Amino acid sequence: MARAGTNLRTSYLESNEVLRRPYQKLLIALILAAALMLPFASSDYFMHLINLCFLACIGALGLMILTGFCGQISLGHAAFLAIGAFTTVILTVHVKMPFLVVVPAAAVSGAIVGFLVGLPSLRFRGVYLAISTLAMHYAIVFLCTTYQANFGASASAGITIADPVIGSLRLRGEHAWYYFLLVLVTLFTAGCVNLVRTRPGRAWMAIRDRDIAAEALGINLTRYKLAAFMLSAMLASVSGSLAAYYSNVVTVEGYTLDLAVIYVAMIIVGGMGSVLGGLLGAIFITLLPYAIDSLFEFLPRAWRFGSTVFGVQVGAVGVCIILFLLFEPKGLAEIWRRTETYFDRWPFRYRPLDTTRR
Amino acid sequence: MEFVATVIILTCTYALLAAGIVILYKAGRVVNFAHGEIAIVGGYVFYSSGLMTGSPWLAVVGAVAFSIVTGAFIYVAMMRRVVGEPFYVAILITVGIAIVLKAAIIVIWRAEQVTIDVGVAPAIRLAGGATLSYMDLASIVLTIAFFVALYLFFTFTRLGVQFRGTAENALLASQRGVNVNLVLSLAWIIAVAAATLSGVLYGGRAFLGSASVTIGLAGLTAALVGGLDSLRGAVVGAFIVALAQYLTVRLIDPVLSEALPFLILLVVMSVRPWGLFGTVEELDRV
Amino acid sequence: MTEPLLQVRQLEVVYNRVATAIQGVSLDVPEGEIVALVGTNGAGKTTTLRAISGFLPSEDVAITDGTITLRGERINGRIPHQLAKAGIILVPEREKVFATLSVQDNLAFAAREDGAITIDRIHGYFPRLRERSSQLAGYLSGGEKQTLAIGMALLCRPTLLLIDELSLGLAPIAIKELMGRLRQISRELRLTVLLVEQNARAALSIADHGYVMESGRIVFSGKADELLSHPDVREFYLGGAGQAENKSYRDIKQYRRKRRWWG
């Protein structure tokens, strides 16, 4: 069957394809190959950074589904991460469950909490929903704080967890974690991409754009909104659980409102409404503080004293949020898309059949 | 008696914050998540201007200048550009502003905890053994003056009527000759000024530090409890939150008082989301 | 022939970059006259008014062609507040008053300090408003809201008054009264009015000149009484007056004729 050019599709099946142009398949293959080879050329420190990015990616995917695709503003993402971490703590310390049971269990507990946090979304939208999630965040963090306080004197600096063990293998060291997380992130990304381009994704996007109209079209708001919350919480919970194993320590102080805001920053910077955006945003925001740190190396010594670097790192996230919202609301993903489109159409400036003047 | 005094003064702090939030919501349908940070930075500016020049009057000038510049800047550079976008864009910008201000506290003032010292004169003794310092008295008087001024402004002045009209329908207001940009900038300036006043008062009674920004959340709760579009509600809501916090600290558990505003929020959201005096509206209107 | 107050030439407005709402619209509004713009739903009349008054609703609506000039000065694309200062005041179809303000406050909102037209004078034209001074505008009846809206518009000292769907939702007798009042005001204040109406008869009864719009274009124009007696206008917009006797086949065939102006 003749292809009607790279922009035009002739069947629904075609338009739903993930990789639409030949070079994209090549690109993905190259990226995966590079990803597999990367550890052989990297230091532990670099692997550590990548692992942090991977963990953030998993959490960001969750928030992207909830806020970017389904349009439910949530400031409670840190609470979901905390649930994952603390479920891990409870199951490993008190019940001594193995790794391969704990992580799915964390997903389940995440789903339950996601369901609960999602209930207000059936009644509220907009600001009031955001505030409900905020309230939920504090409630959950309070519970975790109480748990940690009652844990015992040793918990003041955080609760330690042993390294995860799969079968006879102990998951230890940056390189091992890298491969493990790479597989997980790839699987989750593929899963999300598929979810998003099929019915659930379309339902979510309809809800995001105008939920009254979506309901009129027969989309069950309850089911899809709660599903979005549950899925988001599950992914965040898994991320939190893995993060707990990765750093071997869990402390409730890490799960602040600022962390939730950082995840929101990830999806804004990445571009709400695209899986690629979630990944790009997660990587960008995770690496940002390190980049700033490196930047300061070039500045005169006098500037690096005290908390200035830290302050700038904190402020940079805020500045990114504002700048992206004002000037590039569709985020890094849009920048990628524009570049892609530019080369795709070159040497033409407009798409064929583009009749409106700009 | 001390109980009454403390609660009243806490109410004043929260009421000023809540008033600012209500004004911004009425004017532009924006919920300002940066209000606490603005208050504390305003307090710091007051402190620094006072410190640098040694004169309390110049501190006031500094604070006023800060209010005007910051309020106008936030509106003109940021909020004005996102009119008409989905509601979360404006909110997330305020979240971004909150983060930047927090960073400013760390970078500019090194997050040092400071107290605003207005020369503690002999305190006034009240019946029942309570004492009110001059700072406390100033808090109460200034807050009342602010609210009275606001009421008079909105009800009786021409600009106040234009304000209310713009808040309801900015396009119509613009077509009837009102410079909507000016009105909305003014709304932001007033809100920032209220927050700054609150920050200064708080800095005088307690302290200013990077942890103090949590008063913003208490103020937001107060505004929500009273109704996001009701100034009357702001005062009532502030009282409720202040009272609840005081009772929690005294009778239950001091640690809980930090999270208390949010428990109140949960209750309000479940029972009466639009607050006590808010208009019963569709809850997602931008 | 003096230059008309408002001149619109070849105006084109496009929604969301794909849907052309109006195209090639040209009209003249002579000073001191009442001009009616009539047509059915969706003809583009409201879009025309909005384009003239800067009241275009959102980012994605743009004037893509044509000029609008006020006394020879080009006013395309200015913001509503500037056009209001230049004297172009629009009374929109919906949301024409501030519902949460009292009637008195609504009028005070629009009143100018150097008012040539005072609130008292508005009370003179519309005595009901004086009675309802302290009532919230949201609680007024449709007709009263309409008079309040016109009152507010007049207080802004308009050079050109644009009114969108004055008669919508009003009883016939109220329409007649209001239209009559409008003509009286226009004559007294030497006010130029561009009136957009679906109720063609009511509009043409007070207008000096009329334009007929259809599918985004002006298809007919002429003096108001010419339009009132024109057979095609009567057939399509005025209910086809008094042809019950002539029911011959040839006359019925008339209904199958394509609209003459497309020919």
Task: Give the per-residue SS3 of chain B.
Answer: CHHHHHHHHHHHHHHHHHHHHHHHHHHHCCCCCCHHHHHHHHHHHHHHHHHHHCCHHHHHHHHHHHHHHHHHHHHHHHHHHHCCCCHHHHHHHHHHHHHHHHHHHHHHHCCCCECCCCCCCCCEECCCCCEECHHHHHHHHHHHHHHHHHHHHHHHCHHHHHHHHHHHCHHHHHHCCCCHHHHHHHHHHHHHHHHHHHHHHHHHHCCECHHHHHHHHHHHHHHHHHCCCCHHHHHHHHHHHHHHHHHHHHHHCCCHHHHHHHHHHHHHHHHCCCCCCCCCCCCCCC
Considering only CA atoms, give the Rg of chain A: 22
The token pair that represents A66 in the structure block: 């909830």
Say if the Cβ atoms of C95 and B169 lie within 8 Å.
yes
Tens digit of each residue's pLDDT (9 = 90 or more) over A216-225: 999 999 999 9
Say if the Cβ atoms of A357 and C18 lie within 8 Å.
no
Contacts of A126 in chain B (CB under 8 A): 87-88, 283-286
Q: Which of B244, B273, B278 is nearest to B261 (CA)?
A: B244
Q: What are phi and psi of B194, to 5 degrees?
A: -60, -45
B252 touches A at CB < 8 Å:
no
Q: Which of A222-231, A317-326, B240-249 has the lowest mean pLDDT?
A: B240-249
**% of chain A at pLDDT higher than 70:** 92
- Virtual torsion, Cα C81, C83, C85, C89, nearest 10 deg: -100
Contacts of C14 in chain A (CB under 8 A): 356
* B273–chain C nearest CA distance, Å: 21
Could you say which residues from 231 to 290 on chain A have a Cβ atom under 8 Å away from some Cβ of chain B?
Answer: 258, 261, 264-265, 268
Query: What's the rounded Cα separation, in Å, for the pair B276 and A264?
Result: 31
Check residue A7 and give its pLDDT: 62
Residue in A with minimal Cα distance to B96: A318
Helix axes B180-205, B158-168, angle to 10 degrees: 100
Strand A165-166 versus strand A169-170 pairing type: antiparallel
* B259–chain A nearest CA distance, Å: 7
Q: What are phi and psi of C167, to 5 degrees?
A: -90, 0
Query: What is the pLDDT confidence band of residue A321, given thresholds at 50, 70 and 90?
Result: very high
Say if the Cβ atoms of B96 and A138 lie within 8 Å.
no
Tens digit of each residue's pLDDT (9 = 90 or more) over B12-41: 999 999 999 999 998 888 899 999 999 999
Say if the Cβ atoms of B158 and C156 lie within 8 Å.
no
Q: Do the Cβ atoms of A357 and C64 come closer than 8 Å? A: yes
- List chains adjacent to chain B, taking adjacency as at least 3 C-beta pairs closer than 8 Å: A, C
Contacts of C15 in chain A (CB under 8 A): none
Tens digit of each residue's pLDDT (9 = 90 or more) over A260-297: 999 999 999 999 989 999 999 999 999 999 999 888 88
C57 prior amide bond cis, ω within 30: no
Neighbours of A291 (CB within 10 A): 12
The token pair that represents C202 in the structure block: 């009511």
* B162–chain C nearest CA distance, Å: 6
Mutate to test the interface with B, among A67, A319, A321, A323 (most CBs of B within 10 A): A321
A23 touches B at CB < 8 Å:
no
A357 touches C at CB < 8 Å:
yes
Greatest Cα-to-Cα distance within chain A, rounded to the nearest angstrom: 72
Region for residue B233 given its phi and psi (left: phi exceeds 0; alpha: psi -120 to 50; beta: otherwise) = alpha
- Give the mean pLDDT of chain C: 83
Query: What is the pLDDT confidence band of residue A52, given thresholds at 50, 70 and 90?
Result: very high
Neighbours of B45 (CB within 10 A): 24
- A80 or A154, greater pLDDT: A80
Say if the Cβ atoms of B164 and C152 lie within 8 Å.
no
Average pLDDT over residues A97-114: 93
Give the type of residue at A219: I
Mutate to test the interface with B, among C49, C52, C59, C81 (most CBs of B within 10 A): C81
* C99–chain B nearest CA distance, Å: 8
Residue in C with minimal Cα distance to A356: C17
Say if the Cβ atoms of A321 and B99 lie within 8 Å.
yes
Check residue A356 and give its pLDDT: 43
Average pLDDT over residues A2-12: 63
Say if the Cβ atoms of B78 and A326 lie within 8 Å.
yes
Say if the Cβ atoms of A314 and B93 lie within 8 Å.
no
- List chains adjacent to chain C, taking adjacency as at least 3 C-beta pairs closer than 8 Å: A, B
Contacts of A357 in chain C (CB under 8 A): 64
B52 touches A at CB < 8 Å:
no
* A256–chain B nearest CA distance, Å: 12
Residue in C with minimal Cα distance to B81: C59
Average pLDDT over residues A177-199: 94
A302 touches B at CB < 8 Å:
no
Q: How many CB pairs under 8 A join A and B?
A: 123
Check residue B280 and give its pLDDT: 67
A356 touches C at CB < 8 Å:
yes
What residues of chain B score a pLDDT lower than 50?
282-286
What residues of chain C score a pLDDT lower than 50?
263
Which residues does C45 contact at the CB level (< 8 Å), separation at least 6?
Answer: C37, C38, C39, C164, C196, C197, C213
A150 touches C at CB < 8 Å:
no
* B265–chain A nearest CA distance, Å: 7
Contacts of C18 in chain A (CB under 8 A): 356
* A353–chain C nearest CA distance, Å: 12
Strand order in the sheet with C6-15: C19-29, C6-15, C61-70, C73-74
Residue in A with minimal Cα distance to C16: A356
Q: Is the dihedral of CA A211, A215, A218, A223 positive or negative?
A: positive
Mutate to test the interface with C, among A354, A356, A358 (most CBs of C within 10 A): A356
Residue in C with minimal Cα distance to A357: C17
Which string of DSSP letters, residue by residue, matches chain C? -PPPSEEEEEEEEEETTTEEEEEEEEEEE-TT-EEEEEE-TTSSHHHHHHHHHT---STTEEEEEEEEEETTEE-TT--HHHHHHHTEEEE-SSS-S-TTSBHHHHHHHH--TT-SS-HHHHHHH-HHHHHTTTSBGGGS-HHHHHHHHHHHHHHT--SEEEEE-TTTT--HHHHHHHHHHHHHHHHHHT-EEEEEES-HHHHHHH-SEEEEEETTEEEEEEEHHHHHH-HHHHHHHS--TT-SS---HHHHHGGGSPPGGG-
Residue in B with minimal Cα distance to C92: B172
* B242–chain A nearest CA distance, Å: 18
Region for residue B112 given its phi and psi (left: phi exceeds 0; alpha: psi -120 to 50; beta: otherwise) = beta
Say if the Cβ atoms of B161 and C89 lie within 8 Å.
no
* A210–chain B nearest CA distance, Å: 11
Average pLDDT over residues A1-30: 74
Check residue C59 and give its pLDDT: 60
Contacts of B173 in chain C (CB under 8 A): 98, 109
Could you say which residues from 173 to 232 on chain B have a Cβ atom under 8 Å away from some Cβ of chain A?
Answer: 220, 224
Give yes or no for residue A144 having a pLDDT over 70: yes
Average pLDDT over residues A62-68: 95
Residue in A with minimal Cα distance to C62: A358
Contacts of A358 in chain C (CB under 8 A): 17
Which residues does C203 contact at the CB level (< 8 Å), separation at least 6?
Answer: C36, C38, C166, C167, C179, C195, C197, C210
Average pLDDT over residues A5-10: 66
